[in-house]
Amino acid sequence: MATKKGQHLLVDLFAGCGGLSTGMENAGFTPWFVNEIVPQYCDTYRANHQLPDGHCYVGDINELNKSIQDYKAILKDIDLVCGGPPCQGFSTANRQRIIDDPRNGLYRAYLQFLQHIRPKFFVMENVVGMANKLTEIKEDFHKFLGDEYVFDAKVLEAKNYGVPQNRRRLIFIGNRMGVNPADIFAEIEKQKREPFVLRDVLDGLPPLSVKEPKGKAGIENYESGLTVRSFKYKRNAFYRFINGDRVITKLYNHKNRYNNPRDVEIFRRLPQGADSTHESIADIMPYTRRKDIFKDKYYKLEEGKICKTITSHMKYDCNMYIHPWEARGLSPREAARIQTFPDDYVFQGAQNSWYAQIGNAVPVKLAEVIGKAIMKFL
């Protein structure tokens, strides 16, 4: 795959399954080089994006930086480098934060890559908690990039750009083209719109029954869900939002997972918007002596509102993401739709890995508005 005149080349670091890349591709960028350490995530990325041979580095970014000379020929004239370094140490959701967590140094590896490649623009996406270290991070930016680049950071809320969930992320944008980052954020601001709600996401998808028995993950059927099946979508406004005018005839990754009978009964009883403290499940609720701590153990989503933040915890269970009108958790496809992945984006690996990939991703439509704003200055 040779580059064509007029293409705007994209490098995606810590790429995961490709949420950022998909949004940037929608905005007009061409995915050109990818780094991701988890092989299954790379499998998903490559299944959904056309990359030239040798343009996917599966491994630690620190090792990539050590061997960067081997890639200099294909990393010339890069328009945009984007990525979201793993952020557990900064996350406000991490109650057992370890200040010296080595994962917090990966953003420095990201900056080292920028130092080597010198792209025209860069985007770094991360948790809002990273803003607590903003002064220190800016010092690191200057240390690695010098005065050639100008950059700034702003918290963006995905719901302000149509995404049907609460998700706040800190977005760093920089460039060496003399563009004021405030002008780029102003272009992002112009793309604001009302969010879709959960009803829009779920409307028209086939129901899923309870999956039994546990331990027979390979067994599939139409009732509890299939990895892939023929399907006629309801082409409503949300369908067009994530898919455009394309006609998609397959339904992927729409499967229920096993839940024990007690959980299924809890799912059935809870009204929308209720959590573990609701009186309807008092007689069967586990952890009754510590329900103040475990009040979020179960939560039934509300169809008329946006969803709570989709996270990788869904790989363990979906008890905090109970379907509004079915006695089950959200399927991977439903979670992917909330993250605004197109319906023909196929996730590879095991079902728990699908959830992890989706939960760790950047919402596609949020990435798209960022990409469109940057494209204005290329």
- The sheet carrying 168-175 orders its strands as 56-58, 29-36, 8-13, 80-83, 121-127, 168-175, 150-157
What residues pair up with 264 in beta bridges, in sequence order?
none
Q: Which two tokens mark 61?
A: 């970014």
What residues pair up with 127 in beta bridges, in sequence order?
169
Q: State the catalytic residues.
A: 87
- Residue 122 has phi, psi (to 5 degrees) of -140, 155
Q: Interior CA angle at 39 toward 33 and 41, to 5°?
A: 75
Q: Which two tokens mark 160?
A: 């302000």
Q: Interior CA angle at 112 toward 21 and 149, to 5°?
A: 80
Q: Which two tokens mark 314?
A: 């869904």
Report yes or no: 25 and 10 within 8 Å, Cβ to Cβ.
Answer: yes
Nearest to 80 by CA among 359, 373, 362, 365: 373
Q: Which amino acid is at 120?
A: K
